[in-house]
Amino acid sequence: MQDLAPDATYEAPRAGARQLLKPRQSAVKTYARVLAYAWHYKLRLAVSVLFAVAVAGSLTSMLLAALTVLKLLYLDEPTVMAEVGKYAAVGQEWADKSFVTRWIVPENAQARAAALVLDMRANRAFALALLAGVVLALAAIGGAARFVQEYFAGSIGAGISVRLGEDMFTNIMKMPISFYEQHSTGEILARFTNDIFMVNRGLANTFVKLFREPFKLVFFLSVALSMDWQLTLIVLLVLPAVAYVIVTVGRKVKKSVRRSLQKIASTATVAAEAVRGIMVVKAYNMEEYETSRIKTELAKLRRYLIRMVRYDAAIEPATEFLLVVGLLMFMLLANRRIEAGRVDVVDVAVLLGALVMMVDPLRKLSSVNNMIQSSVASAERVFEFIDAKSDIIEAHDAVPLPPLKNTLRFDNVHFTYNGKDQVLRGVSFEIKKGEMVALVGSSGAGKSTIVKMIPRFYDVAAGSVTIDGVDIRQATFKSLRDQIGIVTQDTILFNETVRKNIAFGRETYALERIHQAALAAHAAEFIENLPLKYDTTIGESGATLSGGQRQRLAIARAVIKDPAILILDEATSSLDSESEQAIQKAIEEFIVGRTTIVIAHRLSTVQRADRILVVEGGRIVEQGPHAQLMAQNGLYRRLYDVQFGSTQP
């Protein structure tokens, strides 16, 4: 038995994938980072802002046009004529300053303006019809501008969400195997689907309303201030209270959204497990049990969703109530100013109209904050995966590693998953090119961990793994993994055609090469009987195929790669005898001249190995050919006797 040498050093590995998730940033930094993605759409941003201004301008123009015409038509004539004369004089003075303005403003502007007003007052029906036409035109312009603004703003949000999804998926594809062992499929899918959707929903509302409503607010506020700045400022005293309500509710929304997203992930995990294991669920009559599990998760999710609904439902009524308080203050103070003769009724009407129209953008902006907080909570979870760093990285000076020519060597390799409990303890062995080596031992002994070191699914904590004397940590991932083929007990196939599953992303493979790989894997016969032969879609995880057929496709995928090193991890353990014989034959033909590492519990499948390594407690305790190990009467012999009930000497 190999023990750790007294002078051997053991280094704890770097942090696992879960620890490599960065701490959450502040909400402001998170949203600023999301908005930074918008810079990829600079032109769309400019168009959206331009048309947001157009929307606000059209609404303000409608208000001013309507109230100005009404003032001209219904105020007493001396007051109207005095006002018209004052503005016409200003226009005439402006016209006299340059040739351009002189061309715009006609001569005798005061007289012409007075005549126009008198004509309007004499024919009020025509003037009102003309006003209706102007308002209708402005409404059409505003509607068209709103459509363009919302379209471009929405497209920016969609584009950002897609980029976030691309960045997240690209990064998680770089994560080590430990990342996927520590994060459930449901959690990963929830972040990739639901969280991305929530970010998109928040961005769509943000870019639509956050671009448009502030312009509307500023335009209406300008009108109000120009009419009576003192009254306007008094009304605006309620805004601090409005801001407090918005911020307070926004914090609660963000907290509820974050928790609901976590519950969505756990619910997705439970659902995925039930669907994936549906045969076991039905075989054990566990439908009600699985239903109760999902109901429990959904009940928890419902509580958080109801909280979100409650906060969303509360924000706008609370905002509106405070704004109504401000308007009531305005009415009381406006009455005193009218009675004092400081303003007339029409001025107050214009001011009131502007203040009332300010309520709508303020109300919408209050709801935007809730949407922002929702999308921030989702964006935080997306950025966690975008920013996750793999603890297994390619060296900056990594070199291409030629295919194995001489030896694959483990030299005093130690490994731990959690930095405390050692899984491998000073493992050392050497495999020559073309040699077949089998790893046997009880479950949990460390066999699978050993083979996962070879393609760097895990990195050693101490010691080294070398190919032809080169530490694999100094090799590029591509050159290392290109020369390794893996066939596992859990056959991984994709919802694609037979052809694409064998070629697996390598579109350059000719059909003839795919056929040859299928023949070598003894898969060609059943493929020819499929409805569309090599173009038949096999369903999720190869659901339309038998276990033996799926395994033969997996072998064909390894054959077409033509690897220098082949790893077979319990490749035939779950098959019936007939399928096992066919696949064993395919494997025996394929491994000729190839460096092969086999993990097997069925010792009958490893007796022809050149060498058998017996693993126990993370150490190699025995090694040698089958006959030699049987003669030693050690652990291998005991495993053999237990499996076969043998008393063979």
* Tens-place pLDDT, residues 559-618: 888 888 888 887 665 555 555 666 677 777 777 778 888 887 777 777 788 899 998 888
CATH tag, 35-387: 1.20.1560.10
In this prediction, residue 409 carries a pLDDT of 92
* Lowest-pLDDT range of 34-38, 140-144, 426-430: 34-38
593-621 in b/e burial notation, b at 16+ Cβ within 10 A? ebbbbbbbbebebbeebebbbbbbebbbb
**What amino acid is encoded at 577 in this protein?**
S
pLDDT at residue 158 in the model: 82
* Comparison of pLDDT for 82 and 150, the residue scoring more: 150
DSSP codes, 85-115: HHHHHHHHHHHTT-HHHHHHSPTTHHHHHHH
Query: What is the pLDDT, as a whole number, of residue 416?
Result: 86
d(CA 39, CA 32): 11
Q: How far apart are CA 291 and CA 271, in angstroms?
A: 9
Amino acid 13: pLDDT: 39
Higher-scoring residue by pLDDT: 328, 344: 328
Burial letters for 548-584: b for 16+ Cβ neighbours within 10 Å, e otherwise? bbbbbbbbbbbbbbebbbbbbbbbbeebeeebbebbb
pLDDT number for residue 18: 40
Radius of gyration of the chain (CA): 38
- Per-residue pLDDT, 10: 37
453 within 8 A of 410, measured Cβ to Cβ: yes
What is the pLDDT confidence band of residue 210, given thresholds at 50, 70 and 90? confident
Nearest Cα neighbor of 238 from 326, 156, 313 is 326
The one-letter code for the residue type at 430 is E
Mean pLDDT of all residues in 284-310: 75
Q: Check if the beta carbon of residue 279 is closer than 8 Å to that of residue 352.
A: no
Pick the range with the lowest mean pLDDT from 218-232, 377-391, 569-583. Answer: 569-583
For residue 595, the 8-state DSSP code is: E
Residue-wise pLDDT tens digits, 7-51 = 333 343 343 334 455 555 566 788 788 878 888 888 888 898 888
Q: What is the mean pLDDT of the chain?
A: 77
Tokens of 181: 């062992």
Looking at residue 87, its pLDDT comes to 60
Report the percentage of the chain scoring pLDDT > 90: 4
Largest CA distance in the chain: 128
Output the pLDDT for position 499.
85
Give the 3-state secondary structure of residue 330: helix
CATH topology match: 35-387 vs 392-483+610-649: no
Given phi > 0 = left and psi -120 to 50 = alpha, else beta, which region is 595?
Answer: beta
In the chain, the amino acid numbered 507 is E
Mean pLDDT of 317-323: 73
Does the domain made of 392-483+610-649 have the CATH classification 3.40.50.300? yes
Output the pLDDT for position 17. Answer: 39
Pick 466 or 288 by higher pLDDT.
466
Distance CA(627)–CA(637), nearest Å, equals 10
Q: Could you please report the per-residue DSSP string of 166-234? A: HHHHHHHTTS-HHHHHHS-HHHHHHIIIIIHHHHHHHHHHIIIIIHHHHHHHHHHHHHHHHHHHHHHHH
What pLDDT score does 512 carry?
84
Q: What is the pLDDT of residue 410?
A: 93
Name the least confident of 68-82, 293-307, 617-631: 68-82
Please tell me the predicted confidence (pLDDT) of residue 113.
66
Q: Per mean pLDDT, which of 24-28, 86-90, 125-129, 423-427 is the most reliable?
A: 423-427
Please determine, for residue 332, whether its predicted confidence score (pLDDT) is greater than 60: yes
Averaged pLDDT, 399-408: 90
Q: Sketch the domain layout of the chain as residue ranges.
A: 35-387, 392-483+610-649
Mean pLDDT for the stretch of residues 284-293: 73
Amino acid at 370: N
